[in-house]
Amino acid sequence: VGGEQISSIGRGLCVLLGISLEDTQRELEHMVRKILNLRVFEDESGKNWSKSVMDKQYEVLCVSQFTLQCILKGNKPDYHMAMPTEQAESFYNNFLEQLRKAYKPELIKDGKFGAYMQVHIQNDGPVTIELESPAATIDPKQLTKLEKQQQRKEKTRTKVPSESSRERNTPRNKDDPSASSGAEGDVSSEREP
Outline where DSSP puts E strands in the chain: 12-17, 59-64, 71-73, 76-78, 108-110
Peptide bond into 126 cis (omega under 30): yes
Q: How many Å apart are CA 70 and CA 78, to the nearest integer?
A: 6
- Name every residue whose Cβ is closer than 8 Å to that of residue 25 and which is 6 or more positions away in sequence: 94
Nearest to 141 by CA among 24, 29, 20, 15: 20
* DSSP classification of residue 171: P
Q: How many Å apart are CA 155 and CA 22, to the nearest integer?
A: 8
What is the amino acid identity at position 175?
A: D
Are 113 and 89 spatial neighbours (Cβ–Cβ below 8 Å)? yes
- Catalytic (active site) residue 24: no
Catalytic residue among 67, 85, 156, 170: 67
At 148 the three-state DSSP class reads helix
Active site residues: 67
